[in-house]
Amino acid sequence: MRKLTILLALLGLALLTGCTAWFGAGSVMKAIVSIGAIGFMATVVAQLAVDAILGLAWHAACRDIPFVQLVVSRMIRDAAASCLPFSQLGGMVLGIRATCSSDLFAPRGKGRPIDGSEAACANLVDITTEVMGQILFILTAVLCLVAHQQSSPFARPVIIGLVLLTMGIAGFVYTQRRGGDLLKRAGRMLGHNMAAQWQDAMLSSADSIQERFDAIWSHPRRILEGALLHYVGWLGSAATIWVAYYFLGAHLSFAGAVAIEGVACGIMSVSFLVPAGLGVQEAAYITLGSAFGIAPSLSLGLSLLRRGRELVIGIPMLLLWQAMEMRALRHKTPAKPEEAPATVPVREPTQPPQD
């Protein structure tokens, strides 16, 4: 898997380089420079607003964890996925770690320690509600694309991928509702091949994880609120694309931005094995932008600006995660006990023998 990931990354990088050379590096750089510092900062601020909406969506489903704690964890999870593309499931792992330790940066009196099982359940539920909102967003994007171009070649494959994504998320939800039972069955089946204490720990952890999942899924209205807020967040990501195109000088309606971002999102979901969507994101933006009359150099510049925005936000968040880990480690390190001063044994004087 690691070799395949590296190979796909190299192929994507070659595709990105080829697109830049084909459309002219000079025109692409001109498009990037034309946005200016104000335009680039506008896209960064818009993305930060989207991150706040995503944190609010997570908090709607998992209200036991403070809002600030979830926003920080979410941004660290996204930063790992975008800035550390060679780590399989790295964003998920760092998201769980950040959820466990981000209480150090929560408002005073509101943060609380989160154990690993609760953090894992919270992250899995957030990803589930995010995909639910993503399905609705991609469907909206396909409708916008068909309204603009009825014979679009992207409509049918994206709809097929949407059906497969819906089937996958349905199985994912079923696994969360019955995950503890499945883990218990696996523990009993492997009981003859593992130590007794390992089997007991596996069964007890299955009960703990299932209790946490049941506690979250026992409020379906909260799950629905989280999915709808994620849908709003996806619309916000389309708004960031619209803002970027505006500063690049392209005339695009918000419905067009929804179509481009949603269909590109569906294409990148299918090509999830390609690290950070190298080459795939650029090709999708170029092709979809051309359908709306946008020059390929502008769409390629937009994709590169998006990657720059991810680095501007992601690198500080990864540094913040390192600071959180160091602070948590410092809190867990027990203080060395003070050494007692060395005492010199005092010999009692010997009494002379009595007569």
pLDDT given for residue 224 in this prediction: 94
Q: pLDDT tens digits for 29-83?
A: 766 677 778 888 888 999 999 999 999 999 999 998 889 889 999 999 988 888 8
The whole-chain average pLDDT of the chain stands at 77
150/62: higher pLDDT? 62
Under the phi-then-psi rule, with left for phi > 0, alpha for psi from -120 to 50, and beta for the rest, what region is 36? Answer: left
pLDDT given for residue 130 in this prediction: 92
Q: pLDDT tens digits for 169-212?
A: 888 787 777 655 555 454 444 444 444 444 444 445 556 777 88
Region 255-281 average pLDDT: 80
Q: Which of 156-160, 230-234, 238-242 has the lowest mean pLDDT?
A: 156-160
- Residue 165, C-beta contacts closer than 8 angstroms, at least 6 positions apart: 131, 134, 135, 138, 266, 269
Instruction: Read off the amino acid at residue 77.
Output: R
**119 located within any domain:** yes
| Token representation of residue 155 | 């409509």
Helical H segments across the chain, by residue range:
2-23, 25-34, 36-61, 67-83, 90-101, 116-148, 155-189, 196-217, 220-248, 254-270, 280-291, 296-332
CA dist., res. 103 & res. 69, Å (int): 6
pLDDT given for residue 202 in this prediction: 43
**343 located within any domain:** no
pLDDT of 157 higher than 60: yes
pLDDT of 25 higher than 80: no
CA dist., res. 283 & res. 260, Å (int): 12
Contact by Cβ (8 Å): 70, 98: no
pLDDT given for residue 126 in this prediction: 93
298/112: higher pLDDT? 298
DSSP assignment string, 69-112:
HHHHHHHHHHHHHHH-TTSTTHHHHHHHHHHHHGGGGSPTTT--
- Residue 87, C-beta contacts closer than 8 angstroms, at least 6 positions apart: 80, 93
User: Percent of the chain at pLDDT above 90?
Assistant: 21
Contact by Cβ (8 Å): 249, 298: yes
| Token representation of residue 9 | 């990354």
pLDDT given for residue 45 in this prediction: 93
**209 located within any domain:** no
DSSP assignment string, 286-316:
HHHHHHTT--HHHHHHHHHHHHHHHHHHHHH
233: nearest Cα among 46, 3, 11: 46
pLDDT given for residue 222 in this prediction: 93
**284 located within any domain:** yes
pLDDT given for residue 104 in this prediction: 59
Instruction: Report how many domains make up the chain.
Output: 1
- C-alpha distance across the termini of the chain, in Å: 94
CA dist., res. 31 & res. 306, Å (int): 13
CA dist., res. 238 & res. 110, Å (int): 33
Q: Which domain holds residue 290?
A: 34-164+221-327
Under the phi-then-psi rule, with left for phi > 0, alpha for psi from -120 to 50, and beta for the rest, what region is 220? Answer: alpha
Region 108-130 average pLDDT: 80
Q: What are phi and psi of 232, to 5 degrees?
A: -60, -40
**296 located within any domain:** yes
CA dist., res. 19 & res. 300, Å (int): 8
